[in-house]
Amino acid sequence: MDIAYYPGCSLKQTSGIYDQQSVKVFKALGINLKEIDDWNCCGATSAGKYDDFLAIAMPARNIGIAENEGFDEIIIPCSACYSRTLVAQARINDDAVLKDEINADIEKKIDGSLKVSSILEVFLPLVESGELKKKATRKLKQLKPVCYYGCMLTRFSYNVAVPDNVENPQGMEKVLKALGIKAIDWNCKTDCCGASAAVNDSDTSLNLMARIMNDALARGANCMVTTCPMCQLNMDAYQEAYCEKHGISERLPVYFITEIVGMALGMGADELLIDTHITPSTELIEASDKELEKV
């Protein structure tokens, strides 16, 4: 099965591993991610603070490209890109004048019928069909993860249909369960890591991240799993900083969902580029494998 794929700027730069993992993991599951041609930046959370028209027009152009390439569904693994594109589409479908205005100047006209899917919305049908469980050959015995959703998978700047429970989403838990991993329940699954505040208001952001980390540790988690490249980068790359600031001695790997699925499918930590995390993240996987050898 082919599906349109919008990586976004982050997945082509600092979170390049998420791009490579997504393509690899879905291919192993029989889904080909087809990167749409000449896509542009979605504007992320910054565009809404700069100009409201741009915040719609930027992601809108990408919808037109995917639709004109003949796709009826697009997968957007980055939470910010997903949120912005979903909102742009809803805004355009609710406002015919705005839609005409944007369509007047773009080559690939927008129809507005494209299904905009997060990475979880593409994984979940494979959970329901039993396909994921069937292909998951490797048991990851040592993982005690908390699922970290962040803000942008369930809360939106505009009234859109949210595909999961807003306060207590379960999509990631369902994916992990199909792989034989039991996620730990916790308080901070939809809390904010501060996103760009890590750069422009680091005091605020480090406090938010430490609160998330403290709850994960208090619940006995030994790793976090996320679908958002911003959450992953912040929780991983700033881990020394926020732990040091708040006197936290433990450190936790922060995995992309694609890393957990990929490993369960039998891929190696090196193949999935997990050694490129800032916080050491391969030991837990090696421990899992050793545990299995013992049995």
Partner 1 sequence: MTATVYDFQPVAAQTLVEEVVARSGQPLTACYQCRRCAAGCPVGEETGYVTPDRLIRMIALGDRDQALNNALVWQCVSCFTCGTRCPNDIQTARITETLKKMAKEKHLEPLKPKVANFHDAFVKSGLRWGRVNEMEFMGFYELKNFLKDLKAGNFKAVYDEMMTQAKLGLDMFKHKRLHFGFLSAKGRGEIKRLFKKYKARKAA
Closest to partner 1 by CB, 208 or 284? 208
Q: Of 126 and 153, which CB lies nearer to partner 1 in the complex structure?
A: 153
Query: Which residue in 24, 115, 144, 155 binds partner 1 (CB under 8 A)?
Result: 155
Q: Which stretch binds partner 1 (CB under 8 A): 8-16, 139-147, 175-183, 243-251?
A: 8-16
The reply on whether position 218 binds partner 1 by CB under 8 A is no
Q: How many residues lie near partner 1 (CB under 8 A)?
A: 61
Which is nearest to 76 in space by CA: 201, 207, 195, 229?
229
**Of 2, 54, 168, 268, which one interacts with partner 1 (CB under 8 A)?**
54
Structure tokens at 210: 């430490």
Count CB-CB contacts under 10 A for residue 197: 18
- The neighbouring-strand residues paired with 115 are 73
Tokens of 30: 């029989």
CB 122 within 8 A of CB 26: yes
**Least distance in Å: CB of 212 to partner 1?**
10
Q: Among 4, 23, 33, 57, which residue interacts with partner 1 (rule: CB under 8 A)?
A: 57
Q: Which range touches partner 1 (CB under 8 A), out of 68-76, 124-132, 168-176, 205-213?
A: 205-213
Should residue 208 be labelled a site residue for partner 1 when binding is judged by CB under 8 A?
yes
Tell me if 244 contacts partner 1 by CB under 8 A: no
What span, in angstroms and rounded, lies between the C-alpha atoms of 134 and 138? 11
Contacts of 8 (CB under 8 A, 6+ apart): 39, 41, 42, 76, 78, 80, 81
3-state secondary structure of 33: strand
Which residues in 116-145 contact partner 1 (CB under 8 A)? none
Q: Which residues pair with 7 in a beta bridge?
A: none
Calpha distance 29→197 (Å, rounded): 36
What is the binding site for partner 1 (CB under 8 A)? 9-10, 12-14, 16-17, 38-41, 43-54, 57-58, 61, 101-102, 105-107, 151, 154-159, 166, 190-192, 194-197, 199-205, 207-208, 237-238, 275-278
